[in-house]
Chain A
Amino acid sequence: MSIAGFEVEVDRGRGLETEEMTLNMGPQHPSTHGVLRFVVKADGEIMRRAIPDVGYLHRSIEKISEKVGYHGFMPYTDRVDYVAAMFCNQGWGMVTEKLADIEVPKRGEYCRVIAAELNRISSHLLSVGTMILDIGAITPFFHAFREREKINDLLEELCGARLTYNYMRIGGVAWDLPPGYEEKVLAFLSQFDRMLEEYDDLVTSNKLFRARCSGVAAISPADAAAYNLVGPNLRACGVRYDVRRDEPYSVYPELEFDVPVGTGSAGAVGDSFDRYLVRILEIKESIKILRQCFQQIPDGPVVAKVPRKLKPPAGDVQIRVESARGDMSWYAVSDGSEFPYRCKVRTGSFAAMGMIEELSKGLMLADLVTVIASLDIVAPEVDR
């Protein structure tokens, strides 16, 4: 460079540079919903990447099944996803029944559906409650949990437990509905309808909440399929797929319900708000299902006669249950003995967890907690 006839060398340096910051989020962090860990690469408030680190809650549940036998494994399935344990119970029950060719009595199936749908409501309430808590509002969380407590009370009356139910048995359920149960559930539902309206006023139509969620981590249907998203997360992307409707099991073909999908009402289709809204709509569908169940439930036994020492014929079977976190697949191999040769569970949270790294690129730091909460990731379900 020449200045006034002199050749001058100017050292421009490297200019203003910022360093990438590595943040360690979790395993002890208030909004990682259990022991999850993310290694966040951030440039100030903007994330470059959030790398999930799984395995903190691995309890070898699948391996345990090989040592405790078919009946003995049922309580362990509660721990696969302790927020929605009924579905895991149902999954294990269904896979064994298919292996051993056991017919579940009609009333048993209805009891299963009633318990499962109550559990779905409570799981979704937890999900939307913690999501709004992560976004910063405190009251809706308490309102959601107040209603969840009532469901816990109902389930406690049904099976004696509030979290790890161990309600279902191979061939049916452990106990019939207690006397007066129908009235109690229906009374709760009619009260809960009004609470949902209140929740809509408080949260769904809240402008700040919408602004925080709209357009955050929108997922296209193609991406969702590529990452194998399932359940409400998949439906929020606009894909109308529900195992209960498309590969019906239990008594779901006899029940009428809609499959709500995301419409992009706050911004893009498949964004965090859609994932929130789909859960709220699914709660309403579950209420519908519950009301129908109580109208249609027949009399009769609730559990089939199943030998104490169950020895299914050799072979392998795979079934799918629509859990609160989506398509939960159970695969079991029998070698003809009284212990399963192998059992494999595929859960919805695991797929969602895998997608976070892709979704987090370029988001704000505050959006990461929105994404985790909106994908409804439950740590034990990731690791099993």
Chain B
Amino acid sequence: MLQQFLDSLIADGTLGGMPRDVAYLIGMLGAGALVVFGFVLNISGVTTFVERRVWARIQSRIGPNRVGPQGILQWLADGIKLLMKEEAIPFAADSALFKLAPFVVTVGFITAFVAVPFSSALVIADLNLGILYITSMTSLVVVGIMIAGWASNNKWSLIGGIRAAAQIVSYEIPAALSIFTVILITGTLSMQGIIQQQGWGPWDWFIFHSPFTFVGFFITFVSLLAEGNRTPFDLPEAESELVAGFVTEYSGARYLFFFLVEWGNLYVISAILVTLFLGGWQVPMIPGLAESPFWLNLTQAVTFIVKSYAGVITMMWIRATLPRVRVDQLMSTCWKYLLPIAFVNFMGTALWVLIWPEGFRFAELALTLLGFSMVVYFFYRVVFHLRRSGAELTFSPLS
């Protein structure tokens, strides 16, 4: 699409005598910048705002509500403030690596967006390696974190960086194994391909495909939480232990980039889960919708973003509720529990696919029922606790 547009510009001479390759390069950079500044950074920013408001409600506070209506521009104010602040580089730090680290982290996060499918057409590049590409790109983040920890020349930062490395490398294995269970079913790595094989109804989602994928969903969720350094696995930046972990010495825009990635990663984690297990952008085929590509894609994109944000808010909820695990508990969770279960899941799914290549409708419906009853029971417990504590129930998200 971009290529056609540039070709037409070159053909009618708007670009003068610019060489074709240069025009392509500029066009790609421009489009990339548009995507990054118009969408990716905003997702991070809006997520920080949502997180602060959600937390505030959970913690019986009000939260930011001054900048813009209901404080919705707070993230912009914070970002601008951080951009304009002086950036201090510690005297003893390795200045080159210190400056490099935020970029590595940011690249690892932004490039992951390339393969995130928002609708059947709205995807920057539908790579045939899709999910593998995303997993490998998000692993770049750990390199940046380690560089940051080492280059700061601060012992707290170093411990944070090393913790991050140990944690992310360990949790990548169960995460990858659980992702493979889905790939066993689909036979494709492409994100669009995975979504196309699911349906709009929950019984067609891969989470309810077999008992093994059902467990696999939770393993993936926990592992990705750990990879994204989220509570209860936020050890690399445990503020009560390590001051601020690997970001201790950072300030100004570089600090901003680390937090951009932290909150942007929330969305990436959710998008991966939604794509693999929760049906992606699939919407019911209402007659008339299929004829208009614009409305179809809009509905799909809204579905995808709503599903992803449900995941993001769940992660915020978890962060507001749970304490942090200790390093030894973190490691034993991964190697003693998640990894063996992930292996069993992998083998189980292989068998399942061998026996029922087209899926087993009864199991799918039963698991859907199980999943929904879990959700219903959860909300019943929430209401039960609220009733017992005699709290006032207000459902207004504003105020």
- Closest residue of chain A to B155 (Cβ to Cβ) is A23
Structural contact, A142 and B61, CB atoms closer than 8 A: yes
Contacts of A366 in B (CB 8 A): 235, 238, 241, 324, 326-327
Residue ID in chain A nearest B385 by CB atoms: A201
Q: Do A136 and B323 touch (CB < 8 A)? A: yes
A21 at the interface (CB under 8 A from B): yes
Among candidates A132, A135, A197, A364, residue contacting B328 with C-beta atoms closer than 8 Å? A364
> Residue B234 at the A interface, CB < 8 A?
yes
Which of A178-186, A208-216, A230-238 lies at the interface with chain B?
A208-216
Which of the residues A21, A146, A208, A364 comes within 8 Å of B323, measured between beta carbons?
A208
* Residue from the list B231, B326, B385 in contact with A198, Cβ < 8 A: B385
On chain B, the residues within 8 Å of A211 by CB distance are 325-326, 329
Whether the pair B59, A208 counts as a contact (CB closer than 8 A) is: no
- Does B243 belong to the interface (CB within 8 Å)? yes
Chain A residues numbered 31-75 whose CB sits less than 8 Å from any CB in chain B: 31, 45
Per-residue CB contact flags for chain B residues 216-258 toward chain A (1 = under 8 Å, else 0) read: 0000000000000001101100111101000000000000000
Are B243 and A29 within 8 A (Cβ)?
Answer: yes
Number of A-B contacts (CB under 8 A): 89
Size of the chain B interface, CB-CB below 8 angstroms: 33
Binary B-proximity of A207-250 (CB < 8 A = 1, otherwise 0): 01101100000000000000000000000000000000000000
Number of interface residues of A (CB under 8 A): 35
Instruction: Decide: B59 and A206 in contact? CB cutoff 8 A.
Output: no
B contacts with A: majority SS: helix
Q: Which residues of A contact B390 (CB under 8 A)?
A: 191, 194
For the residues of A in contact with B, the DSSP-based class is helix
Does B394 make an interface contact (CB < 8 A)?
no
Q: Do A206 and B323 have beta carbons less than 8 Å apart?
A: yes
Distance (Å) between the CB of A357 and the closest chain B CB?
A: 19
A138-B55, A198-B389 as given contacts; A369 in contact with B240, CB under 8 Å: yes
A142 touches B324 (CB 8 A): no
> Could you say which residues of chain B place their CB within 8 Å of the CB of A255?
none
- Known contacts A197-B389, A366-B326, A369-B241; is-contact A139 B321 (Cβ 8 Å): yes
Residues A138 and B155 in contact, CB atoms below 8 Å apart: no
Of B234, B240, B328, the contact of A134 (CB 8 Å cutoff): B240
B58 proximal to A (CB < 8 A): yes
- Are A208 and B155 within 8 A (Cβ)? no
Pairwise interchain contact B321-A364, C-beta atoms closer than 8 A: no
The residues of A that contact B320 with a CB separation of less than 8 Å are 138-139
Contact B243 A30 (CB under 8 A): yes
Please provide the chain B residues from 46 to 102 with a CB less than 8 Å away from any CB of chain A in the complex.
55, 58-61
Closest to B235 in A: A366
- With a CB–CB cut-off of 8 A, which chain B residues contact A161? none
Choose from A23, A136, A146 the contact partner of B238 (Cβ within 8 Å): A136
Interchain residue pairs with CB less than 8 A apart (24):
A21-B155, A30-B239, A45-B327, A135-B324, A136-B232, A136-B238, A136-B240, A136-B323, A137-B231, A137-B321, A137-B324, A138-B59, A142-B60, A146-B60, A194-B388, A194-B389, A198-B388, A201-B385, A202-B321, A208-B232, A208-B325, A365-B159, A365-B241, A366-B241
Chain B positions near chain A (C-beta within 8 angstroms): 55, 58-61, 155-156, 159, 163, 231-232, 234-235, 238-241, 243, 319-329, 385, 388-390
5 smallest beta-carbon distances between A and B, as pairs:
A136-B324, A142-B59, A137-B323, A31-B240, A136-B323
